[in-house]
Amino acid sequence: MNSGSTSDVTRGDVERLFSNADEPYTTSEVAERLKCPERSAERALETSADRGEVRTKEVVDGTRIWWRPPDEAESDDQQSELREFGAFVRAVKDYAIFMLNPDGTVASWNEGARRIKGYSEDEIVGRHFSTFYTEEDTESGVPETNLDAAAREGHIEDEGWRVRQDGTRFWANVVITAIRDVDSTLQGFTKVTRDMTEQREFELQLRRERDLTEQILETAPVSICVLDSNREFVRANQQALDLLGADQPSVEGSSIESKNLYDGAGNLVPNDERPWTRVIDTGQPVYDFHCRSDWTEGDRRWLSINVVPLEGMVGDDNGVVVAIEDITAQKERERQLEERKSELETELSEILGRISDAFFALDDEWRFTHLNERAAELFGLSQSGFVGRSFWEEFPERSDGRLWEEFCEAMETQAPVNFELYDERLEAWLEYNVYPSKSGLSIYIHDITERKEYQRKLEESNERLEQFAYASSHDLQEPLRMVSSYLRLIENRYGDELDEEGREFLEFAVDGADRMRDMIRSLLKYSRVETRGEPLEPVDLNDVLDEVRNDLERAITESDAVVTAETLPTVKGDDSQLRQVFQNLLENAIEYSGDEPPRVHVAAERSGERWEISVTDEGIGIDSEDEDRVFEVFQRLHTREEYDGTGIGLALCERIVERHGGEISLDSAPGEGSTFSFTLPSTNE
């Protein structure tokens, strides 16, 4: 026989196939044995069945089986039923199929039953089928009720929990069919059981997902609806119904095309430009479609619409999901913000116009966004024509130098920068104050040419004054030495000849000359701070303090002073000048200790790029009103009879600290001691 031809399959082929077959065949098995398409085999089998040459029966899942009818002698007895049942059992392999006696005991067992229920044929045949029911169902009489119903109605279908041999449960679909002979005498039952546990769990999962989807749909803060390919509503949540002013029954099946949409200008949006139409036509989603509607009473509302295609709709592959958000309040806020922005820009322009400094602003791509009249005048620009143009393209000569570096640093660090720069093109000194933000820079420029010139002249004047002070101090020492020498010569030669008053006058004169000498020496040191100082280099303050302690060893011992110190840092400084600072502060702490032995402590604390050094004593203290005066030259808070000194020591400390770029301050109160603090640059090590 040639395969693949319907006409080649004849009744004779079918008759020969079943003549030697005691077992039934499925349609596919017949096609395989006859080597023909299933459809050809099915037609030939149907022809044979019409003539009574074969019998057929459709079982579960649409499977059809075919078998040779029994001989006449056995057609009316139980053997016919058994043959038919055997055919049924053979065709369906994934079901537990077995027979029950009229009393409900198991009479036969198949492989599917063993696989599903776990019993072998020897273990279960003869036992009552209630073994498969749960204890609750057994106590409720469910097995007997099912058999009675099957006997009465012919068959019964049931679903519920059943029990395997190992005690585990499974969800079963059960069909019990009564078997009767020609006299309608009940011969038993067939029982078909299918394990539906996975299907039931799948259905439950689908139900849970459906319930969750429904819950999300109804609790979503936006309007959501489903449309079919005809733009008709399939489903809408409550938010959408409220927006449409309708209820679910009235909206289902109605078209969304009856709802008008308007653009920002108030023009009607054509149907082919509406977002759902575009998605249905192209299959591509549409997001953030902004329009206005008059779906509800009152003013037109602003809507933001998102539409995505929805696949798998029953009978329709072109449905869409539409999400609609009422953004009327947002649009109103945007309008108000835009108005406020316009007002602020107007106010800013007026403010910038009143600023005496030049001002301009750059965005994050270095383009002008603002330019006041002073800046336009300074750079020779048109105030309106430069907005939007690049700063570096307009001033390429400024793009390779400090200005570029400072602007870039401000943007990178988001920290303000301040610097002074000589602009050769403008022949002027400019001070830049640059304030960064994520969107760009705000730059204020002040012309400091006059100030620089004044500073230059002031520095020259100070230098001349320092030179004069140094020269004067130096030149005064010679006549002062002569006065002191002759006073001592008089004292040595004629001291015995002077009366007590004369010796007192001479003592006053010598003491005055000595004090004058000390003041001149201090003044020389003061004038030399800037001109005779050494370069600032790393200095270990521990070494400096040790040297000062050695120099003051006699004073420390005689006063029974205790000087303690923490570990001090290394700073950038002038070694000899810093030694002078420590010596002056320690001498004052010992000198002004009061009646108690001096107690002095030196400490250090890091503050950014600088170190703060503090010298604390427990002495007589200083009134807060005098804290600034102590740093002035030749200022004394006590008489010479009370405490010795020139009145220039703290002024000298202040000048040295200022030369190091630092500051010195005093924290004190009468009777509570004093703390002198000063800052020095760190070495960044």
pLDDT of residue 297: 62
pLDDT of residue 164: 93
pLDDT of residue 22: 63
> Do residues 565 and 545 make contact, with C-beta atoms less than 8 angstroms apart?
yes
Residues of the chain with pLDDT under 70: 1-8, 21-23, 59-63, 70-94, 296-299, 312-317, 343-356, 382-386, 399-400, 461-481, 511-533, 624-629, 631-647, 684-685
Asked if the domains at 11-87 and 336-448 fall in one CATH topology, the answer is no
CA–CA distance, 167 with 265 (Å, rounded to integer): 73
pLDDT of residue 461: 64
CATH number for the domain running over 336-448? 3.30.450.20
pLDDT of residue 645: 47
pLDDT of residue 134: 93
pLDDT of residue 125: 92
CA–CA distance, 678 with 581 (Å, rounded to integer): 10
Which of the four CATH numbers 3.40.50.720, 3.20.20.150, 3.30.450.20, 3.40.50.2300 does domain 92-200 have?
3.30.450.20
pLDDT of residue 506: 75
Tell whether domain 532-681 is in CATH 3.40.50.300. no
> Do residues 578 and 613 make contact, with C-beta atoms less than 8 angstroms apart?
no
Tell whether domain 220-332 is in CATH 3.30.365.10. no
Rg, C-alpha atoms of the chain: 55
Lookup result for tokens 């108030």: 266
pLDDT of residue 514: 67
Q: Domain locations in the chain?
A: 11-87, 92-200, 220-332, 336-448, 452-524, 532-681
CA–CA distance, 650 with 641 (Å, rounded to integer): 20
pLDDT of residue 38: 84
Residue among 99, 100, 118 at smallest CA distance from 170: 118
pLDDT of residue 1: 46
CATH number for the domain running over 11-87? 1.10.10.10
Does pTM surpass 0.85?
no
Residue 333 tokens read as: 């806020």
